Amino acid sequence: MTKIATVAGMRCARCRMKVTHTLLDLDGVSAATVDLQAGQATIEGTDLTQERLNAAFEGTKFSVTAVRDSQ
């Protein structure tokens, strides 16, 4: 399943890299692409709930504000 997550707190290329690596380290995630300008991540995997994604960013300046199915 592919989801689009809106990620708050990204401001630079380093932020984009941190978000990408955090998502890829999450169990069940097979791919993640982060668009810094849009403030969104396209994520492929299983069990991609907003709560689970936010838990991955606990202790960071990033948060997932919305998750929707990819069109």
Tell me which residue has tokens 């689970």.
Answer: 52
Beta bridge partners of 7: 64
Model pLDDT, residue 10: 96
Report the alpha-carbon distance of residue 59 to residue 43 in Å, rounded.
Answer: 21
Q: What is the pLDDT of residues 31-57, one digit of tens each?
A: 999 999 999 999 999 999 999 999 999
The residue range of the domain holding 17 is 2-69
Number of domains observed in the structure of the chain? 1
Model pLDDT, residue 71: 76
Q: One-letter amino acid identity for 15?
A: C
The CATH number given to whatever domain includes residue 60 is 3.30.70.100
Model pLDDT, residue 48: 95
| % the chain with pLDDT above 70 | 100
Strand-pair category, 2-8 with 29-35: unpaired
